[in-house]
Amino acid sequence: MMLSPLSAFEFKRKNTFIHHLDPRTLLYFVILTSILILQFQQLIPVVIIFVAIIPLLFVARIIREWIVSLKGFIFLILIIFFINVFFSPANNPHPTTFALSMIFRLLALVTTFALFFQTVHPDDLGQALVKLRMPYEFSWAITTAYRYVPTLAKEAQQIIDAQMSRGIEFQKGNFLKRIRNYIPLIVPLFISAIKRAWKLAEAMDSKAWGAAKKRTFLYELQMSPMDYVIIIIITIVFISVIYVRYILGLPAWAEWTLPPELELKEIGKWILGYIVNFLQL
Amino acid sequence: MSITVKNLDYTYPSGVAALNNVSLKINKGEHIAIMGANGAGKTTLIKHFNGLLKPTKGHVLVNDIDTITSSVAEMAKIVGFVFQNPDHQLFLTTVEEEIKFGPTNFNFPEEQIQRDMEKVVTFLNLKNLLKRSPFSLSEGERKRVALASVLVMNPEILILDEPTMGQDAIQKRNIAKMIEELNQQGRTIALVTHDIEFVAEYQPRVVAMTEGRVIADGMAKDVLTNLEVLTKTKLRPPQITALAWEIANQKQSFPKDVITISEMKTKLLALER
Amino acid sequence: MDNIVQIRDLEFSYGTSRQPAIREIDLDIKKGEYIVIAGLSGCGKSTFCRCLNGLIPHFYRAGVMKGSVTVDGLDTREHPLYEITQKVGMVFQDPESQLMALTVERDIAFGPENLGLPREEIRIRVEEALELVKIAHLRERAPHELSGGEQQRVAIASVLALQPKILVLDEPTANLDPAGAVDVLNIIENLQVQKKITVIIVEHRLELALQSATRLLIMYDGTLVFDDKPERLIEKDITPAEVYGVQMPSLIQLFTQLMDEGHSFSQIPFNIPLAAAIILSELGSARSTSE
C-alpha cells in the first residue's frame, strides 16, 4: 500500500507552541495562507511565501516528517514540471519559470496543510467545527472517518495477504485486468466496512447516542490571548500582502524570470533539432 | 514437503524488527503449533512460509524452493494458507464459485477442478451449501468455505492462523478432527494458536516464540510444562498441568509434566494406592 | 423484590427470518449475581444480550419481540434506549468497532457527553472509569495503538461511565490472547465484587469464567436448557453439558471421570488451589481406609 504521501497529514502528539494553539487559529492560518498562495503565479513571491512557512515547521518540530513525506510527492512534482515546460501554451514566453512557480505553489500549499493536520488533533478539529456551528453529527462523522483509517488500512492488508495466498496476483495483466484483479480486495473490504458500521451504530446507541438535545463535551476549546495575538498577526500580514499585490503593484524584481538561455523548452528544442539534423546527415 | 528456515531475520518497513535469527525445520507430514504472546513474531514467521513476506536476512526453503525466488501465487499451489477471518477472503456470489476460484485462476483442467471440489465438499460437509451465497452462511460455515477454497488446490502444506479463536466446543472438535485427517493424508500442518487447552489435548510439536526468537521447540508435554517458557510467552499452563504443579507443591513425588486428563487420572489413582 | 432483571416469556425473531432466534425465556436475576452464559454459536446468546440492554426492540425495529424484559424497574419496550443503557451497559465482542474516539479518555467521555452532563461531572466519571479498569496510564493513547485486552478494558470503561447497575458482555474475550482474556475477566470480577455490579457474560473460556460465576445459563436452539449453580453441572440427574455443545473445563472433566471411578467429593472446584486441596484430602482419606 502506497500511503506515504498521506503521512504528511497524520497527527503526531508533540508539545510545542503551535500544537497548543486553538484549531480555529490554525484553520484561520491555513485559509488565509492558501488564499495568499493562490494570488501569485510569479516565481519569486511564491518562493518567498514558501520559505516563510518553513520556520514554522521547525517551531512545530515536524521538519523530519515533512521531508520524509515530500518524497511521496516527487512523482507529482515531476509531472507538473514536464507538463508545464513542454506543453505550455505558445503565448507563454517563460514556461520553465512558470513550471517552477507552480511547483513551489504546490509545495507551499502542501506544507501549509501538513502543518495544520500534523499539529491539530482530529478530535480538536471536530470540536472546532462544532464551535463554528457545524452540526455535531457531521463533525462526528469526520473524526470517526479519520479514526477508522488505520483500522481499514490494517484490514486491507489482511485481505491482500489472504487473497494473494489463494494465488491472486494484483499486479498482473493489462490495465483492465488489473482493475478486475482488485475485486477480491474491494468486495471483502466493502462488506466488512458495512458490518463494522452496523456494529458501530449498535455500540453508539448502547452509549446513549442522541440522549440529550444539547450535547456537552469533556474538552471545550478555549481561545487563549496568544491565539488572538496570532490571529491579529496573520490578519496584518494578509492585508499587507494583498495591499502590495493589488494596490501598490509588484516591484519589478518580483517578476523575475529565468534568462532565455536557461529556458528548458529552448534547450529541448535545440537538442531535438540537433538530433533531427544528425539523423538527416 | 518440508519447510526449512535458516537464520531468518525480518524487519518491517516501519523499522520494527519482528524476527531475529530464527532457524526451524518442519518435516514432511509433521503437525506443529507455533505459540507465543502477541507481537512475538508468530504471524510474521508463518507469512514467510508462502512468501507473503521475504526475509530481510536468511532464507526460507519450502521443499528446496527458496521463497525469495518464487511468487506467492506459485507457492499457493504447494502451501495453503487459511486466515483467521473468512470474511477477508470470500467475495463471490456462490459457495461453488468461491471454491472453484483458486484452481480456475491457475487454469487447472476442468475435470480435475470438479473432482477436487467434490472431494473437499464431501470432506467439509458443504454439499448442501454449494448454491448459497457465502454471506448468507453462519460464521462457522464461512470458515469451512474459506478452508475449502484453499484445500481444493491440494496444497501439501497447510498453514492455519488461529483456527480455534472464537469457536465453540463443537466447531473446535470439528477443526481438530479435520486437522488430524489432513495430517494423516500426509499433509504438513503448521498452525499458530493461543489455545493451550487445544494444544494440550491434541499434542502437536510445539514451537514457542518470544520477541522474534524461538525459545523452545519440542513435544507439547515438555514445552507446555516448562514454567520458564510459559512465563516468557505469557501463556498459562493447561489447567491439568497447573493442578499437577499445585499437588506437587504439597506432595513432592507428584510428576509435574502432566498435560492430559487421562494421564492425570492415572497418576491420581496411582497416588491413592 | 430484589430481582434486578425480570424476563417473562421472551421471544424474538429478526425481520429476515420467521424462525424465532430466542423463545420461551423466563428468568429472574438478582442484584450482584455473576452469570455466565454458554452455548453453541448461533444458539441465541447474542440476541438474548441485545434484549437485556434494549437494542431489542429499539435498534432491531424490523424484528418481532414478544413477552417482556424489565431491568431495574424499566420495561424495555416502554423506555427509550438511552434510559435503558444507563441501567444496562453492553460490551461487544469486537473491540475495534466499539471504540470511536481518537483517544481513550474521549472514548470514555462519549456516553456522559451524549447525556449532556456538565463538564465537571463528565470529568469525575471518566476518572472513576479509568481507575476501575486500571487504564489511567492509557488515557492519551489512540484505540488502534492498544492491544486487544487493553481495547476491551477501554470498552468496559466507556460503558461504566454511564454508571450502569448491570453489565452485559457478549463474548468480550473471543478476539483476545490468553493474557488479555485473564486481564479482562479479572477486571470484570472486580467490578462485581467491589462495585456490586450485576454481571451477565457470554463466554467460551469456561475454565476462566466459571471461577467467578454464581450461576450458569446454557442456551440451546434459542432457549434456556440449564439454569443453576455451575457445581450442579456434573450431578447425575443433569443432562451433560456436552449434549448442548458446551465443553467443560478439563478440571471439571477430570473430576467427573474420578467420580465415575467411584470417588465422591464434598465440593466441585472451579479453581486450581481448591481442586488440589480437595483431591489431596479425598485421595488421602482413601489411602487411610485401604491401609
Dump the DSSP string for A191-224: HHHHHHHHHHHHHHHTTTTT-SSS---SS-----
* Tally of helices (H runs) and strands (E runs) in chain B: 11, 10
Rounded to the nearest angstrom, the minimum Cα separation between A242 and chain C is: 39
**What's residue C20's pLDDT?**
93
Chains touching B (at least 3 CB pairs under 8 A) are A, C
Task: Give the residue from chain A lying closest to C51, CA to CA.
Answer: A206
Q: Which residues of C touch B238 (CB under 8 A)?
A: 250
Q: What is the pLDDT of residues B70-112, one digit of tens each?
A: 999 999 999 999 999 999 999 999 999 999 999 999 999 999 9
Q: What is the pLDDT of residues C77-88, one digit of tens each?
A: 999 999 999 999
Q: Report whether C213 contacts C268 (CB < 8 A).
A: no
First to last CA, chain B: 48
- d(C-alpha C55, C-alpha C69), whole Å: 12
**What's residue A82's pLDDT?**
84
CA dist B145 → A277, B180, C137, C265 (Å): 67, 18, 43, 45
Interface of A with B in 194-233 (CB under 8 A): 195
Q: Report whether C143 contacts C104 (CB < 8 A).
A: yes
CB neighbour class for A145 (10 Å; exposed up to 12, middle 13-18, buried from 19): exposed
- Under the banding of pLDDT at 50, 70 and 90, the label for residue C15 is confident
Q: Is B111 helix (H, G, I), strand (E, B) or coil?
A: helix
- d(C-alpha B54, C-alpha C14), whole Å: 47
First to last CA, chain C: 54
Partner A contacted by B149 (CB < 8 A): yes
Q: Which amino acid is located at C220 in the chain?
A: Y
Match 442484584 to its residue by C-alpha cell: C31
Q: What residues have CB less than 8 Å from B159, skipping those under 6 apart?
A: B46, B49, B50, B79, B80, B81, B82, B189, B190, B191
* CA-wise closest residue to C20 among C29, C33, C10: C10
Q: Which residues of C touch B201 (CB under 8 A)?
A: 250
Best probe of the C interface among B16, B165, B209, B268, by most C CBs < 10 A, is B268
Q: What is the pLDDT of residues B181-202, one digit of tens each?
A: 999 999 999 999 999 989 998 8
CB neighbour class for C83 (10 Å; exposed up to 12, middle 13-18, buried from 19): middle
- d(C-alpha B236, C-alpha C113), whole Å: 40
- Give residue limits of the domains in chain A: 1-120+222-281, 135-219
**Is there a contact between C103 and A123 if contact means CB atoms under 8 Å apart?**
yes
Look up residue C78 and give its three cell numbers: 416502554
Which secondary-structure segment (H or E) carries B3?
A: strand B3-11
- Give residue limits of the domains in chain C: 3-248, 249-291
Q: Report whether A170 contacts A164 (CB < 8 A).
A: yes
Best probe of the B interface among A4, A164, A166, A177, by most B CBs < 10 A, is A166
Best probe of the A interface among B87, B104, B120, B139, by most A CBs < 10 A, is B87
**Is there a contact between A167 and B88 if contact means CB atoms under 8 Å apart?**
no
Q: CB-CB: which of B165, B235, B268 is closest to C279?
A: B268
**What's residue B30's pLDDT?**
94
Q: CB-CB: which of C82, C96, C143 is closest to A208?
A: C82
Chain B residues within 8 angstroms (CB to CB) of chain C: 37-38, 138-140, 165-173, 194, 196-197, 200-201, 234-236, 238-240, 242-243, 246-247, 249-251, 261-262, 264-265, 268-269, 271-273
In chain B, CATH 3.40.50.300 sits at: 1-78+155-234
ipTM of the complex model: 0.91
Rounded to the nearest angstrom, the minimum Cα separation between C109 and chain A is: 6
DSSP chain A: ---GGGGGG------STTTTS-HHHHHHHHHHHHHHHTT--SHHHHHHHHHHHHHHHHHTT-HHHHHHHHGGGHHHHHHHHHHHHHSS-TT-S-HHHHHHHHHHHHHHHHHHHHHHHHHS-HHHHHHHHHHTT--HHHHHHHHHHHHHHHHHHHHHHHHHHHHHHTT--TT-SSHHHHHHHTHHHHHHHHHHHHHHHHHHHHHHHTTTTT-SSS---SS-----HHHHHHHHHHHHHHHHHHHIIIII---GGGG----GGG-HHHHHHHHHHHHHHHHH-
**What's residue A6's pLDDT?**
62
Partner B contacted by A167 (CB < 8 A): yes
Look up residue A243 and give its three cell numbers: 495591499
User: CB atoms < 10 A from the CB of B60, how many?
Assistant: 24
Task: Give the residue from chain A lying closest to C124, CA to CA.
Answer: A218
Which secondary-structure segment (H or E) carries C47?
A: helix C45-52
Q: CB-CB: which of A144, A210, A219 is closest to C100?
A: A144
- d(C-alpha B203, C-alpha B33), whole Å: 9
Q: Is the dihedral of CA A236, A240, A243, A246 positive or negative?
A: negative
Cis peptide before C57 (omega within 30 of 0): yes
Q: Report whether B272 contacts C279 (CB < 8 A).
A: no
Edge-to-edge order in the sheet of strand C74-75: C22-30, C3-13, C64-71, C74-75
CB neighbour class for A261 (10 Å; exposed up to 12, middle 13-18, buried from 19): exposed
Rounded to the nearest angstrom, the minimum Cα separation between C33 and chain B is: 24
Q: Is B224 helix (H, G, I), strand (E, B) or coil?
A: coil
**Is there a contact between B272 and C290 if contact means CB atoms under 8 Å apart?**
yes
- Under the banding of pLDDT at 50, 70 and 90, the label for residue C290 is very low
**Is there a contact between B73 and A158 if contact means CB atoms under 8 Å apart?**
no
C28 DSSP β-pair partners = C6
Q: Which residues of B touch C148 (CB under 8 A)?
A: 38
Q: What is the pLDDT along chain A (281 residues), one digit of tens a residue?
A: 334 556 667 787 788 889 999 999 999 999 999 999 999 989 999 999 999 999 999 999 988 888 887 887 888 888 888 888 877 777 777 888 888 999 999 999 999 999 998 899 888 888 899 889 889 889 899 888 888 888 898 899 999 999 999 999 888 878 788 888 889 999 999 999 999 999 999 999 999 998 988 889 998 888 999 999 999 999 999 999 999 999 998 888 888 888 877 777 777 777 778 888 877 75
**Is there a contact between A167 and B105 if contact means CB atoms under 8 Å apart?**
yes
Q: CB-CB: which of C82, C89, C102 is closest to A121?
A: C102
Where on the phi/psi map is residue B137: left (φ > 0), alpha (ψ -120 to 50), or beta?
A: beta
- d(C-alpha A231, C-alpha A24), whole Å: 10
- d(C-alpha A82, C-alpha A62), whole Å: 30
* CA-wise closest residue to B165 among B132, B201, B193: B193
* CA-wise closest residue to B167 among C40, C35, C149, C222: C40
**What's residue B134's pLDDT?**
92
- d(C-alpha B72, C-alpha B49), whole Å: 10
- Under the banding of pLDDT at 50, 70 and 90, the label for residue C16 is confident
Q: Report whether B116 contacts B152 (CB < 8 A).
A: yes
Tell me which of C283 and A235 has the higher pLDDT: A235
Q: Taking the domain C3-248, which CATH number applies?
A: 3.40.50.300
Rounded to the nearest angstrom, the minimum Cα separation between C245 and chain B is: 6
Partner C contacted by A14 (CB < 8 A): no
Q: Which amino acid is located at C179 in the chain?
A: A
Q: What is the pLDDT of residues C253-263, one digit of tens each?
A: 999 888 888 88
Partner B contacted by C281 (CB < 8 A): no
Any alpha helices (H) in chain B, and if so which ranges?
42-49, 72-75, 95-105, 110-123, 139-151, 169-184, 196-202, 220-223, 227-232, 239-250, 261-272
What predicted TM-score, i.e. pTM, was given to this entire model? 0.87
Angle in degrees, 0-180, between the axes of helices A95-119 and A63-70, rounded to the nearest 10: 130
- d(C-alpha C49, C-alpha C200), whole Å: 8
Chains touching C (at least 3 CB pairs under 8 A) are A, B
Looking at residue B260, the DSSP 8-state letter turns out to be S
Angle in degrees, 0-180, between the axes of helices C178-194 and C119-132, rounded to the nearest 10: 120
The domain over range B1-78+155-234 is classified in CATH as 3.40.50.300: yes
- Ranges of residues in chain B whose predicted pLDDT is under 70: 273
Q: What is the pLDDT of residues C26-70, one digit of tens each?
A: 999 999 999 999 999 889 999 999 999 999 999 999 999 999 999
Q: CB-CB: which of B50, B52, B105 is closest to A168?
A: B105
Task: Give the residue from chain C lying closest to B195, CA to CA.
Answer: C178
Looking at residue C291, the DSSP 8-state letter turns out to be -
**Is there a contact between C174 and B165 if contact means CB atoms under 8 Å apart?**
yes
**Is there a contact between B76 and A166 if contact means CB atoms under 8 Å apart?**
yes
